[in-house]
Structure 1
Amino acid sequence: MGKQYLQTLIRKLLRGKATDAEKRQLESWWKHFSDDDSYLRSLSETERQSLRNTMLSGIWQQLAEKPLDEKAANKPENTDLPVSKSGRVLQLPVVRWAAAAIVLLVSGWLFYQHLTGPQTIRTAYGEQRTVELPDGSVVTLNGNSSLRFSADWAETGQRDVWLEGEAFFGVQHTRNHQKFVVHTPDQLAVEVLGTRFNVQNRRGTTQVVLQEGKVKVTDPTQQTYTLKPGEEVRYSQTTRQLKPIRANLNRELAWKTTILLFTDQPVSEVLQEIRDSHGLQVELRNSAVGRELFSGSIPADDVKQVLSKIEKIYNVTVTFDGDHYIIE
């Protein structure tokens, strides 16, 4: 969104005339600013709190000049809630919106660039993270993944994100049927309007699993396939073909419930999946075991359980050697 449009939104907010959608845009920025700005990451926790308090203290001067809608003021149940000079109490969501507005008004180009520039969300090995995008769509990132997007969707009319790793998307349908596109490193494009689906990109292969709605997948040669609920399509840089099959939704989406579920998968593939998402390094010296099929569930917060299960089921020895495990 442009700077002039931002100022318009801020004035509407401070006058109590901003719509819910406009408030969500500012609240989304505030969340991203608080969690992901590289400038904030360079500050200590004390410095961050000081900066936040400074921004919040500036709210009251703005409220005195252009008060928020009286509907936003309620009697507090908690005496820690912020109170204006006139004695009115604001709900916490309103404080977040107003804080974002104040920052945009007074902090200049640094924060404006953050608002309109690219945002990148990353997860570490074994970490899951749920984020809300500027349009209200919700994305859950699996471990060792990253999602990049721009915050100026309202101005550009485009909803594009770039994914490396794995994520589950709950996409909001817009009134003007604005398409939502997920781009992967192998130049695959997953286009949707409003739906719930999973995208995984690991080791040169992209997998798209559709839970509900409809998505269209386009490969670099413009070959397309439209998925129906319960289907998945895979694209490999080796075969360079879209391969649709029936999906096992319980297995493919189990990671969102902090459970890793495997059904008749080669042990070597199971270990590779865990390495991708959790960073568990395993050297498989017994190639015969790698071809054995494994079925079972493993807690995502204790993936080393898979090693003890493999040891018992296939009568092998698992040892730890400094920075990785050895199966032989």
Structure 2
Amino acid sequence: MQQKKFEELFEGYLQNNLSDAEQQQMMEIIQQGRHDDFLKEKIHGMLKGDYVTDVMDKKQSDDILKYVLSQPQNEPKVVELNPKRRRKVILQSLFAAASIALLIALGNSLFFKPKTVLPTVPETPEVVAQNTLIDFSGKQLVHLPDGSTVLLNDNSTLKYDQNSFDSKTREVTLTGEAFFDIKHNPEKPFIVHTGKIQTKVLGTAFNINAQNSSDNIEVTVARGKVQVGDIEKVYGVITPNQQIKVNKSTLSFEQNNVSAAIVTEWKSNYLILDDLNMAEAVSLISQKYKVQILISNEKIKNCRITASFLNEEDLDHVLKVISSVIETEYRYNKAGAVILDGKGCE
């Protein structure tokens, strides 16, 4: 008898035909939990339908939820309905939300079997790969992040990855010819890749010639110690005025004694003033252009200069650049010597 009465009350509630007293009675029966099977069957049947009908709106489902969760005594027990706000909705959407709220409130495990819910994996935004390679081409002086310098010959390139360089190792790739002056760091070996050949150092000065026009790769040491090999074996360790020559195709190699000065003679075409004081700079300029340079004010020697002249610039061009940088003037005396005048540097 009570089952039939509850079914009538529930149908009446859905049709908004219950009085306040009948709504109160239906709520009390729901709390008893004796009609869970009916509710489950009724809701599942309605959810399978694809028709449009009047159903609980959001306020009704919220009111049922609040009631079965035992609201304080001073709040009204009667669920208020507002017919003016009722509307027709698609059963599969709004009624699903309302009925689920009701079933959760009842807390009966017979309604739904536990299911494993897979965590939602947030969409990973598309990452555009960034090129982190630093590329230098043509004759120039390259300053590496670790303080090392590389003087590139003409038709040569140097590359390194700015993200990995100076992490565990310091690695670069060379095509062509270059003279390396490497900052000493025993914890981070410096490695030059030229094809299959690897030249490994801790801190030294050396020349690598891997020009495409040659069948060989030549590694020559000017200062320090250099290890040459490939990924499988070490060919040898060489010291100043020694050279290892490796065939690019067969990887056969030979070690010889050479003059590092002759091997690196190509550098004489360049004038590199890399953060030098003027006393050092004047010495290099005098040596290259075979000219005597006199400094009229000793304070000029305190000035520092950084400049590279790689295109066989003449002496006047070099002096004009230097004079503009350190605010000096130059002139020739009767003997053909260069005189530098200026206030100098403290």
Whether TM-score is above 0.5 comes out as no
Q: Compare CA radii of gyration and give the structure with the larger one.
A: 2
Higher helix share: 1
TM-score, normalised on structure 1?
0.41
**Which of the pair has the greater relative contact order for Cα pairs under 8 Å at 6+ separation?**
1
